[in-house]
Chains A and B, each alone.
Chain A
């Protein structure tokens, strides 16, 4: 039996092998994705993002165990950074997901960014598709959380939850990171901490200025995820957002945006591949570098020259 056959028979081992196949971008992985695509499109995608130490994994764990208890099929993707120096990665998010690690309807996969910036791994979007095609009804995606701008998650997900904690309650910092723009729901975790009240009211003020987004008033939920306090309310808000977005005309816009992003990502990846396989190893590149170094050429016109040649060849 082929891997794909076993996949469609709901074999968990096959699911994880298919994910690896995609993640490693093995030859023909696009074809495989094409085969899976018609089976996908039903899953609801929830993104969880926020600064390091905000409690994203714990929140994912608690939300998931509630969803799983309601017999929902669940997929979780937890992203951690790849070291740019060694290419290795330490993926430790499962430590926080012990409550759900043995449930038959929950599938957790850790992904290393493998060079991608923006908070997700290179193929997180594709792996989401795989889980979707496998029949997962909810997919939770937890971003890297290294504190940089991690905005890709909003493009991928239907509901984006931004988790903040009083310790990191510097609102200027949040604005800079662009987090304020992407959240459909905000969470103030560790709300028993000093400064939680201030953060809550600051957030509410900022969101008020932003105003209603197409009829969705962005809520702020206070939680102490470790003690499972407020997580029920958070899940309610997520479900509310789900029913709001799926009935609202804005959904079509949102979906088309997702498709647009997806398409441009696929194309740009092909460009990148082209660059890596054809352009960078070319001897002409070496001689160009040499000429620029000697001051005979400038890098800008050289860049145009290189690019125009690819364009011609591949059009």
Chain B
């Protein structure tokens, strides 16, 4: 057997453990053909996609770090073999426990995607130009609550909320301003929008049209995960069934016309924020994912036409190891269910790609600077768990919208993790830890038990209606709170290490009343300058389309082109679909 101690990629070259030497290699040869094969395959794919740059993969003490470590590196020959391959595999190989790409951060660091958007479209546009100048290649749009809920800025319900939690969008005009001077074929845009997602997608497509960018070239992500809205985030408009129909319409439309668009970002983030445990976040989110897959199949689509465009969005909470295990279990579960249960044939359908955001609910209003530390550890969990992109929260978010300074520190935390602490030097560095693997198995088992329970109750929609998820989550939230109050769980600065008479000394951002006035004025001008007969006509067409079974996207595009407002469109849809009220669950 050839020995090449210099190569950091070689299995055979690495002595197994003191005293074993070449004898070990023979044992591997005999017993673990699978392992060796898979390993070699990974080596090949790693070389194929590896990147050449001057970043050095060494420890702080300047020692070489390999891209991947396996039981061979710890001398645990008994842990390699088909079992290892089935459960963990190699990065970029089924079941993807160790990562979806063969190179992971050795090839490319995760995307640092900070979510932003505020005030009027003009102000958001200026911020985006600034961010793009700083080298950012993707945008992540935060909309204000009236936009998320389908109300125009001048609706009585919008009072006090316009431009507060994000940018206000009423009509195509606003989207034209937001992306003014930004070429949609050069950037990717993520839009956090759910109940009215098809309207915002339509606006984006039409903005592209006006810039001369074909919809086929557009790249980006729509959150578009309505199930988690009923379960946790509660920004719904219509009842679940018609909402699912709007989503399958989007999936179908995008598969044909916007093929590079990620149609749903299946979100556990909000489920966790509402108080779920890690196992509940994992199980309920994946159950939602399966529900979308089933809805797509039921709508007559081939699973491999839309599944590769589904992505995930998870929370990164305080418990470092449990979180890492959660991401690893998620990849394994998704791959297995997609391949075995839904018979997806394309590898792209098996890959669980995900965005991570640190846990807003873990931050405290007391001693807010401590949130920097919490966020950094949470971000580390996301990285060690192999996230594709990451948002780190700002320390002041329990007090107000984040200030510039707080946002910068949050971003710096990601940069420190990527450059300074060595966490990105090797792929899935904690694999093989007894604790972590046990946690991964435990979470997977808990998730599978939840899937059985959900099936028994008649599926995700029935569970929502019965308030099953909501009750499970509320119970966990209450239990957690009681643990804190009984001091069985210590939260620094809250129930211990308290500073009496603490004064908060961090600067806060304020959004003034001017924003609402300006936005309402702009909306009034749109209503006056457009062809109102055309608006009426297209809205009537839309009503006809949603009453039937045709895909609503083509007529919706017409409505948007005529500058019908989001609120007007939503009113039409409400008149057909009705509105949702939740069951009272505590």
Show the binding face of A for B, using Cβ within 8 Å: 53, 90, 92-93, 95-96, 98, 226-227
**Which residue of B has the minimal Cβ distance to A194?**
B458
Give A95 to B586 CA distance when docked, in angstroms.
12
* Extra A-B contacts (16), CB below 8 Å, given A53-B466, A96-B581: A53-B583, A90-B584, A90-B586, A92-B584, A92-B586, A93-B584, A95-B581, A95-B582, A95-B583, A95-B584, A96-B583, A96-B584, A98-B581, A226-B239, A226-B578, A227-B578
For residue B529, give the distance in angstroms from its CB to the closest CB of chain A.
35
Residues of B within 8 A of A53 (CB): 466, 583
Set of chain B residues within 8 Å of A92, measured between Cβ atoms:
584, 586
A314–B55 Cα distance when bound, in Å, is 96
Closest residue on chain A to residue B466 by CB atoms:
A53
Complex Cα–Cα for A53 and B583 (A) = 9
User: Which A residues lie within 8 Å of B582 (CB)?
Assistant: 95
A91 to B, closest residue via Cβ: B584
With A and B bound together, what is the CA distance between A96 and B467 in angstroms?
A: 14
Q: 1/0 per residue B560-586: CB within 8 Å of A?
A: 000000000000000000100111101
By size class, the interface of chain B is under 10
Expressed in whole angstroms, the minimum distance between the Cβ of B226 and any Cβ of chain A is: 17
Residues of B contacting A96 with CB < 8 Å? Answer: 581, 583-584
Tell me which residues across on chain B come within 8 A of A227, comparing CB atoms: 578
Report whether over half of chain A's contact residues are helix, strand or loop; otherwise say mixed: helix
Closest to A90 in B: B586
Closest chain B residue to A55, Cβ basis: B583
**Separation of A90 and B474 alpha carbons in the complex (Å):** 14
The 11 listed contacts between A and B (C-beta, < 8 Å) are: A53-B466, A90-B586, A92-B584, A93-B584, A95-B582, A96-B581, A96-B583, A96-B584, A98-B581, A226-B578, A227-B578
Q: What chain B residues lie within 8 Å of A93 (beta carbons)?
A: 584
A53, B584: Cα distance in complex, Å: 10
Closest Cβ–Cβ distance, residue A309 to chain B (whole Å): 46
A197 to B519: give the CA distance in the assembly, Å.
Answer: 52
List the A side residues contacting B239 at CB < 8 Å: 226
Q: Write the nearest CB–CB distance from B581 to chain A, whole angstroms.
A: 6
B578 contacts across to A, CB distance below 8 A: 226-227
| CA–CA, A90 and B582, complex, Å | 16
Nearest chain A CB to B470's CB is how many angstroms away? Answer: 12
- Chain A min CB distance to B453 (Å): 15
| B239 and chain A: residue at smallest CB distance | A226
What is the bound-complex CA distance between A90 and B586, given in angstroms?
8
Interchain CA distance A106-B518 in the complex, whole Å: 39
CA distance A314 to B584 in the complex (A): 47
Tell me the complex Cα distance, A53–B457, Å.
14
Distance (Å) between the CB of B289 and the closest chain A CB? 25
Which residues from chain A contact B466 at a C-beta distance below 8 Å? Answer: 53
Cβ distance B239 to chain A, nearest Cβ, rounded Å: 7
- How many angstroms between the C-alpha atoms of A93 and B585 in the bound complex? 10
Residues of A within 8 A of B584 (CB): 90, 92-93, 95-96
Instruction: Report the minimum CB–CB distance from A80 to chain B (whole Å).
Output: 9
Taking the closest CB of chain B, its distance from the CB of A105, in whole angstroms, is 22
* Chain B positions 436 through 473: 1 when the CB is less than 8 Å from some CB of chain A, otherwise 0: 00000000000000000000000000000010000000
Question: Closest A-chain residue to B579, C-beta based?
Answer: A98
Which of B466, B581, B582 has the largest count of A CB atoms less than 10 A from its CB? B581
Chain A CB count within 10 A is highest, among B239, B578, B583, B586, for B583
Question: What residues on B are CB-neighbors of A98 within 8 Å?
Answer: 581
The 3 closest A-B pairs by CB, nearest first: A92-B584, A95-B584, A90-B586
CB distance from B455 to the nearest CB of A (A): 15
The CA-CA distance from A44 to B142 in the complex, in Å, is: 52
**A92-B583 Cα distance, complex, nearest whole Å:** 9
